Structure 1
């Protein structure tokens, strides 16, 4: 079961052209959608954005009818001068992340492809209510951040080498839990990624509940017996995602 969270704005990062990010902001009160694209590529990507808005309008209750809302490209937003800076610009556009964290309505919040390198200070997105665990890569791609409520007792945090993965062990209401957040780049072979993930899973204490979340870039539909569905069956995992999370 899920609880509907009421908010005035909803922020949706969009991955475009395999190596670019922009940000859609849905304003519930004004029935407006604003696109923040640091390359101003609205003409090139309008078909993809329109399709995404239609899907969100269909599946997200508070965005019902959004395909008929007024749509704007924000041309007053800062524009990137380089060709690899879009991730940082999206983060700047989305400074409302602080507002989301300050609502304290989520226990764990995860971001992937942060494109943040270790030169960024640890005060980046510091928040009074959440621990922050980050796995940096480079400005060219990759990177993970997890925000976890500081009411959780964090007992372990591990970043395995050569894997885009953060493993946490935390205690909540007396229950110890295993939590894995991971990302598979589209150019990494599915089977190789899943083999590494399985090796890591079997290196931890499986007597406690295990949660695996992330952007795996794999098809988990019931129509095909995919690598990820075979992986889940083999490891006695249950998939809770029933609708596509990307297009």
Structure 2
């Protein structure tokens, strides 16, 4: 998630803020007031997307808040819905927008009605076919959303995705800052990267 935020600082990229994996759990259990101090308001100004990793005990999903389209998208690689998650995020956004410090920093004087924002469970969310690749799928949904890219990966690509993620973690940056793999028809050593900007 941090590498996605780092890439978002480059010219021409969407401005993205990714919350840590504990943020949503705390929001869900304690409400918006319990997490308002977790992030500096200056980090949240002029943002296009918020990324929320969602941990459901034994399963990972990704929620994406898109300020441009005023929507909250929920990506679940098992095809589930999570209306309570959408509602918790709405409550957080409403509390954030009502906070004087945030409004002053963003110079936002409008009264945003977050309840009017659309909630979406995208039909194009790639599906996993096992019980253990949800983390890979959630991370890739975040990565693709952060580039406004069509979600073209699938279960058969997971070995190459894992290799790419491992390389990116070692390098401390996303591979080629916007490239993606091609799944080969042969073995894992032939995963290749192509520019898909």
- Flag the structure with higher helix content: 2
**Structure of higher CA gyration radius:** 1
- Flag the structure with higher strand content: 1
Where relative contact order (Cα < 8 A, 6+ residues apart) is larger, the structure is 2
- TM-score normalised over the length of structure 1: 0.37
- TM-score normalised over the length of structure 2: 0.45
